[in-house]
Structure 1
């Protein structure tokens, strides 16, 4: 089987591309990266520097015509987590639009307008997606599953924490794969028992094995009308109906709570640290230490709003400095810069306490060393990229597993 052609949306600095191309089974034929609120398109510059400018688009995806996007086998991307509610619109003959500026609807538009739809989809998001918005938990994910069902896709999803499978960072994200009607893997999923698929047969459990919790699987149908679904899903404001593992075929959801099953080698924070030539500005100044300790420590205090309203504020303490004999905490976008912060990583070394270098943050996401190093790109910006990025090792393993499944099921059909 030849390489699958990939279209990469919301490409960032190329985490999806790295993971998929590491398997040698995928080739990116078109990519798009656009940062709306900034003049300098830093992530796009890094992407072009690493992969070349050919077939790379640095325009707002909402303005890119579907006809400009070449046909592809698999559409991938880590799209922003927003509010996905839908509204009716008389002006729109289809009667349906998502909120303007919500990038999920750009994916929906491309898929609905493509004559040759991609057979496979592979997306990533924060796991909060399963329980947002807070006043209608799970509605956003329900809207996405229903809209993919309407376009002819069956979906399987899994929440994966990279550290639970031996990777160097505790980063929990939802990944989902979708298969178009007519693809062999779609037929296979449709015929299979949903629980068997989630635990034994599917692409996720092949890449990241799981054991099942005692809880029974939950099944329910999604309302066929997107607007009704958007307005009424989980109006009771209970817990989300979506668990960390699940599938959706023809609008019927089966979901299950699973636990990771892994006993391989584990990478710790200490394994990725640079030993020598650390620039002096990364060491924490003695005079700043009390501020770091205060921010990292537990607090119970009375604070005031700008309007003068007083309220009780409390938070627990963080491990300070970070534990070296564990995988690291999640990198967030505010990781860069010298100023003391509750969330930045700080490690104890023989020469004192210091922050993490950009190359160390890249290693925590399993990027190649200095992938984001480029003239004009500050260390703080490189840290920001890693706060936004995904763990390349997860994409690589899921990509390899997906390719194996596709090949295996196609062979079965041919025989």
Structure 2
């Protein structure tokens, strides 16, 4: 089986870089990266700067276009489909024309992934999302993730998932994301997994257990998907835990405890004596102090209900002897979530540099230094994934591919 990849919602190439670092000859045959509403497609340009562009099966370039208008049949065949997609409302409804069956909400990018799977039938898939996907929406917990699993089940796939805190597996950032591994039920890998119980798969023998080892658990909570997506939208709710598998429409899940690895500490990735633009001015210090501090604020809801909004303090500055906090797309702007550190040489407080942001995500220094504005470098890193987590999964998948014909 060829080691070929299609990368959707590619950003600046975290999935691709992670697989290339495995040094096992994976080839990305096509990618797609398009930022809605952006005048300049900075992430796409960064990706092309590092890896070059990709032609579709007609010899045309459509990698920087809205994926919803791309003909999925023209995407080159591939063994592995990867992508990080937004956490959205995945509910479906009956279409006006009964001949069309069901329709997902326009603009929801999961349906583009489903369409690619349906058109190209990759043997394996790896997807990344925020961990709240398992609990959304708030009024019908687990429905959206259940719909994704139901789609995969209907297309002939089984799936595993795991919520991973990257710092617990040796990275520099306490970033929690859910990874989903799906495999087609007619692969040799699927057949080999049939000999294992669901508990054994979660504990030791499944894909996620090999990529992200855990302490042994003794039981699974079980559930079952409903018959179709309309029913899933209207009725399904389930308490998905951070680890689990789905096969033949049945769900097995539980909480897990990682086998901890030594993380990279924030102090280890800091530069010294950086450009003055990153230092906090005395005029803005009081604002930073307020944003980072504890608060209790009287508020009134839309319905007239009075309540007290409260939040605890954030480390100010961030501690050198811990991994970084989760980086958001707003990193470097004046807000509560932005990292503030004391510079190793000057001791003065400042925000992170773009290189430090890249190090938090495990990218090479100056990865985003491809002509984009500094603010966009932080935005792209806030949208990115932790590259070493991808390399861990790539090494497990290497062994699986070796067994396929």
Q: Specify which of 144, 163, 174 is matched with residue 170 of structure 1.
A: 174
Residue aligned with 1:284, SS:
coil
**What's the offset of the Cα at 1:54?**
3.3
Residue aligned with 1:80, SS:
coil
1:96 & 1:306 partners in 2: Cα distance? 35
User: What residue in structure 2 maps to residue 5 of structure 1?
Assistant: 4
**What's the offset of the Cα at 1:250?**
1.3
Which residues of 2 match residues 112-127 of structure 1 at below 5 A?
112-114=118-120, 117-127=121-131
User: What residue in structure 1 maps to residue 277 of structure 2?
Assistant: 281
Residue aligned with 1:175, SS:
strand
CA 1:54 to 1:272, structure 2 compared with 1: closer, same or farther past 3 Å? Answer: same
CA 1:3 to 1:271, structure 2 compared with 1: closer, same or farther past 3 Å? Answer: farther
8 Å CA contact 2:2, 2:79 repeated in 1: no
1:221 & 1:145 partners in 2: Cα distance? 10
Is the aligned partner of 1:110 residue 2:116?
Answer: yes
User: What residue in structure 1 maps to residue 58 of structure 2?
Assistant: none
TM-superposition CA deviations, 1:53-97 (whole Å, max 9, x none): 233611111100012201000000001111000111141524111
Number of residue pairs aligned between Structure 1 and Structure 2: 396
Residue aligned with 2:180, SS:
strand
2:143 & 2:254 partners in 1: Cα distance? 18
Q: Specify which of 383, 389, 402 is matched with residue 388 of structure 1.
A: 383
User: What residue in structure 1 maps to residue 43 of structure 2?
Assistant: 43
User: What residue in structure 1 maps to residue 240 of structure 2?
Assistant: 242
1:77 & 1:345 partners in 2: Cα distance? 27
**What's the offset of the Cα at 1:189?**
2.0
1:3 & 1:347 partners in 2: Cα distance? 46
8 Å CA contact 2:269, 2:356 repeated in 1: yes
Query: Once structures 1 and 2 are overlaid, which stretch shifts more, 216-225 or 323-332?
Result: 216-225
**What's the offset of the Cα at 1:312?**
2.4
2:115 & 2:336 partners in 1: Cα distance? 40
**What's the offset of the Cα at 1:336?**
2.7
8 Å CA contact 1:83, 1:140 repeated in 2: yes
Residue aligned with 1:395, SS:
helix
2:298 & 2:96 partners in 1: Cα distance? 50
Which residues of 2 match residues 323-402 of structure 1 at below 5 A?
323-337=319-333, 340-349=334-343, 350-351=345-346, 352-375=348-371, 377-402=372-397
TM-superposition CA deviations, 1:270-314 (whole Å, max 9, x none): 0111124x1001111122111111100001122468999864221
For normalisation by structure 1, the TM-score amounts to: 0.91
User: What residue in structure 2 maps to residue 154 of structure 1?
Assistant: 158
2:43 & 2:98 partners in 1: Cα distance? 34
2:319 & 2:389 partners in 1: Cα distance? 23
Query: Once structures 1 and 2 are overlaid, which stretch shifts more, 352-361 or 88-97?
Result: 88-97
Which residues of 2 match residues 177-326 of structure 1 at below 5 A?
177-213=181-217, 216-234=219-237, 240-262=238-260, 264-276=261-273, 278-303=274-299, 311-326=307-322
1:61 & 1:53 partners in 2: Cα distance? 16
Which residues of 2 match residues 43-82 of structure 1 at below 5 A?
43-55=43-55, 57-82=63-88
2:92 & 2:330 partners in 1: Cα distance? 32
Unaligned residue ranges in structure 1 (runs of 5+): 235-239
**What's the offset of the Cα at 1:193?**
0.4
CA 1:44 to 1:92, structure 2 compared with 1: closer, same or farther past 3 Å? Answer: farther
1:404 & 1:68 partners in 2: Cα distance? 29
**What's the offset of the Cα at 1:190?**
2.7
8 Å CA contact 1:184, 1:406 repeated in 2: no
Moved runs in structure 1, 4+ residues, more than 3 A? 303-311
1:305 & 1:211 partners in 2: Cα distance? 44
CA 1:92 to 1:32, structure 2 compared with 1: closer, same or farther past 3 Å? Answer: farther
**What's the offset of the Cα at 1:315?**
1.0
2:33 & 2:118 partners in 1: Cα distance? 21
1:169 & 1:270 partners in 2: Cα distance? 12
Residue aligned with 1:343, SS:
coil
Unaligned residue ranges in structure 2 (runs of 5+): 56-60
C-alpha RMSD of the superposition? 1.8
